[in-house]
Amino acid sequence: MSVLECEMRGQVALVTLNRPESRNSLNPELIVELAALWDGLGEDDDIRAVVLTGAEGSTFCAGFDLGTTIPMITGTREPQNEFEQAVAADSELLHRATLRGYDPGKPVIAAVNGHAIAGGMELMLSCDLRVVAHGVKLGLSEVALGLIPGMGGTALLARRIPSALAMELLLAAQPIASDDLAQSGLFNRLVPSGDVLTTALDLAETIASNAPLAVMAARRVAKASGDLDEAAALALESEAGTALVNTEDAVEGPLAFMEKRAPVFRGR
């Protein structure tokens, strides 16, 4: 059984963490497979959006595997197979797998159908949009283990929610129920667990139906603008907008609207 599954749904890639017996925790094999998958999805022009979820009936992701990955990070375990050797030799695999500072170039939607803890919450935070189930626990438990969230949690959390709430999650190391975070701005949708995947796929399909060059440009400008002053952000927006004006999709969109038909975007 593969620890990672990828299924195409039209122009949407559905990626499933498939270690339900271990709460979809990130062991070295899953880390290697996930890092490689992000690379492949980023290079595939037919994919316009990605949905990331956990195997049904388990957590979304419980973070790094405490029996393998964490001991390797702390240096108390020697590599015992090819996947462990790969992770030990290249720490960037951890970063790519969890999207820490790594951009696959496509909108990624987290379909959080179960608890998201530690590295699992960091993976969720790195996604562009988040659909979360009622009643699941979200938290960063690292300081209780003598560590800190090292896959973007300390850097990203205060960018996603108010600082006081971020500090509570970081320092108390106690998870908070998703329903109690409903007004925090952490996620886009809060839905019953049985509706998480459908809701996320619907959102992904809506995004995928739009002009892909425009989606990528809007996403790129929005992500970059957070660290820029207003003038620089507006300049970046103007640059991206000017580049789109002469594309075929920019002609097709208004023409389809005037002709009262669905546009056919070709990404050029």
- Active-site residue, 7 included: no
Strands 129-133 and 108-112, how do they pair? Answer: parallel
- Active-site residue, 43 included: no
Three-state secondary structure readout of 189-255: EEECHHHHHHHHHHHHHHHHCCCHHHHHHHHHHHHHHCCCCHHHHHHHHHHHHHHHHCCHHHHHHHH
Distance from C-alpha of 201 to C-alpha of 204, rounded to nearest angstrom: 5
Residue 154 burial (10 A CB sphere; 0-12, 13-18, 19+): middle
Write down the catalytic residue from 29, 33, 84, 142.
Answer: 142
Write down the catalytic residue from 29, 33, 84, 122.
Answer: 122
Active site residue ranges? 122, 142
